[in-house]
């Protein structure tokens, strides 16, 4: 009985086929995870909309609506149907980008979100950049200088960032840097005189003003965003420095670091190439999570600084019982959080071969 001959070409073909099957299975698992997570998010927002003690019909018609008008509106909204049917209708509308009409602005909720979300995205992005630029090096230095003065400073920064309420820090910042020192502009995103001078391309006033070459608009927008971004960035610095310090302390105690130092490698190379190189991937996950938290947790900052983002929009919707706007904003924030987590997981697999 003869055995089949395995040629190098056949081995490569079988290996490529096996690799293709593995990637297909991973893609299918990713899609299934995405569908299940998104369905769960839809279900949660739907239940919130139905269980809150706010009658959507009365929110639309008012308390003095007649019984006939109330019944007709309830029929038009589909509230007379079984709960499962209502959920299916809600899911269908959401998948088509229909979040309903906002009672507060009388515009489609999706249009309102497209208008306000870029402002939150710009604020959170700049805050995260500040957090990475300052927090990561601070955490590394604190770990290297363990139990020295710089380590105590980093730990104090992390403690204050975890303890002080963001609205209090924002109010103190406005009092000092705006009212007393006049270093920054006041609440809002831009002065009214510059409003509408730059066409919207990216949604970021800073980027759009640079593209248009309107430097007066750029510096005015920067003077408005500097303080709220610094306040949020401080919390990002506190979190990232604390996590970086923890990661680095763990790596610096490993035997390979001792071996590298015993071989006479420069300390800078031991720290930044060997120790920091091993924490870069998990640190990437931490940065992405920090960015997600800033996107969803900037509500109080936006209220204090009258920042026209999704946090202010969501707060106004809550105060006015505008449930379409509340649920739409909540869903968009949740989808953003899910997308960032999935992106982080994908990057983790790309940069860390052990995760494959």
**C-alpha span between 215 and 198 (Å, rounded):** 10
| Residue 69 within a domain | yes
Q: Are residues 208 and 275 in the same domain?
A: yes
Pick the last residue of a domain from 95, 119, 143.
95
Q: Are residues 63 and 177 in the same domain?
A: no
Pick the last residue of a domain from 95, 130, 145.
95
Q: Are residues 124 and 155 in the same domain?
A: yes
Pick the last residue of a domain from 60, 95, 130.
95
| β-pair partners for 108 | 101
Q: Are residues 16 and 163 in the same domain?
A: no
Nearest Cα to 189, choosing from 280, 337, 305, 97? 305
Q: Are residues 153 and 280 in the same domain?
A: yes
Range of the domain at 15: 8-95
| Residue 138 within a domain | yes
Q: Are residues 145 and 274 in the same domain?
A: yes
The tally of domains found in the chain comes to 2
Cα dist from 134 to 142, 235, 239, 241, 295, whole Å: 12, 11, 11, 8, 19
- Domain containing 265 — which CATH number? 1.10.3720.10
| Residue 55 within a domain | yes
pLDDT tens for the chain, 356 residues long, are: 455 555 666 656 666 666 667 778 877 887 887 788 888 888 888 887 777 777 777 766 777 777 777 788 777 777 777 878 888 888 888 888 888 888 778 888 899 998 899 999 999 999 999 999 999 999 999 999 988 999 999 899 888 888 888 888 889 999 999 999 889 888 888 888 888 888 888 888 888 889 888 899 999 999 999 999 999 999 999 999 999 999 999 998 888 888 888 888 888 888 888 888 888 888 888 898 888 888 876 788 888 898 988 888 888 888 877 888 888 888 888 888 888 887 877 777 776 666 55
Q: Are residues 73 and 212 in the same domain?
A: no
| Residue 253 within a domain | yes
Which helix (DSSP H) or strand (DSSP E) does residue 59 occupy? helix 56-61
């Amino acid at each position: 009985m003869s055995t089949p001959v395995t040629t190098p070409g056949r081995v490569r073909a079988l290996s490529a086929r096996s690799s293709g099957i593995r990637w297909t299975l991973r893609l299918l698992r990713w899609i299934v995870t995405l569908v299940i997570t998104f369905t769960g998010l839809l279900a949660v927002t739907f239940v919130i909309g139905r269980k809150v003690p706010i009658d959507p019909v009365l929110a639309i018609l008012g308390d003095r609506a007649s019984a006939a008008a109330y019944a007709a509106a309830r029929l038009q909204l589909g509230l007379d149907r079984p709960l499962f049917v209502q959920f299916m209708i809600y899911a269908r509308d959401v998948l088509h980008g229909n979040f309903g009409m906002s009672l507060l602005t009388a515009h489609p909720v999706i249009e309102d979100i497209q208008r306000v979300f870029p402002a939150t995205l710009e604020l959170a992005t700049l805050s995260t950049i500040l957090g990475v630029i300052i927090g990561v090096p601070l955490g590394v230095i604190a770990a290297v200088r363990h139990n020295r003065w710089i380590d105590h400073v980093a730990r104090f920064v992390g403690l204050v960032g975890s303890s002080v309420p963001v609205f209090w820090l924002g109010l103190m910042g406005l009092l000092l840097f705006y009212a007393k020192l006049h270093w920054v502009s006041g609440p809002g995103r831009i002065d009214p005189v510059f409003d509408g001078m730059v066409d919207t391309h990216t949604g970021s006033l800073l980027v759009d003003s640079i593209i248009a070459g309107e430097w007066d608009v750029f510096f005015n927008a920067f003077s408005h965003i500097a303080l709220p971004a610094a306040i949020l960035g401080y919390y990002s610095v506190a979190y990232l420095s604390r996590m970086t310090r923890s990661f680095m302390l763990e790596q610096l105690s490993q035997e390979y670091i001792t071996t590298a130092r015993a071989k006479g490698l420069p300390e800078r190379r031991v720290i930044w190439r060997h120790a920091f190189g091993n924490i870069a991937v998990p640190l990437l996950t931490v940065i992405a999570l920090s960015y997600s938290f800033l996107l969803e947790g900037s509500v109080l900052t936006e209220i204090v600084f009258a920042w026209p983002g999704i946090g202010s929009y969501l707060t106004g919707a809550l105060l006015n019982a505008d449930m379409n706007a509340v649920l739409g904003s909540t869903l968009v924030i949740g989808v953003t959080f899910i997308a960032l987590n999935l992106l982080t997981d994908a990057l983790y697999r790309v940069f860390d071969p052990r995760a494959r």
